[in-house]
Amino acid sequence: HGAAELDEIGTEVLPRRTPAPAWLPTVKGEEGDFCLRSSDCAAGLCCARHFWSKICKPVLREGQVCTRHRRKGTHGLEIFQRCQCAEGLACRLQREHGPADASRLHTCQRH
């Protein structure tokens, strides 16, 4: 009987982790705000490394320079990460009208 009473008291003393109430507005991070994951950022932004922290950065639009990773896992090594290309776009080698391999630049382009 006494042990059950102690358990009851013990659980009331410890702070409980409860989810935020539904009525509490969930504010998404704006560009430049610190984040842990992309879901922390507002629409059109992703969470990417900037120096040794992570901030909300804009998702890349058509024609913007993007990063193409040759090997899996190299994305984590960058200190200035870029977001992915927006939906419907792919990161491809920029087409130049000069000599082949003149530019190794990748840009977001339509599929």
Domain residue extents for the chain: 28-58, 61-71+88-110
Is the per-residue pLDDT at 106 higher than 60?
A: yes
Q: Over the stretch 44-94, which tens digit does the pLDDT of each residue have? A: 999 999 999 999 999 999 999 998 876 666 555 678 999 999 999 999 998
What gap in Å lies between CA 111 and CA 109, rounded to an integer? 6
Chain centre distance of CA 99: 36
User: For the domain 28-58, what is the CATH superfamily, name and number?
Assistant: Lipase, subunit A (2.10.80.10)
pLDDT of residue 6: 46
Please give the structure tokens belonging to residue 14: 């410890």
Q: Is the pLDDT of residue 19 over 80?
A: no
Rounded to whole angstroms, how far apart are CA atoms 86 and 108? Answer: 8
In residues, how long is the chain? 111
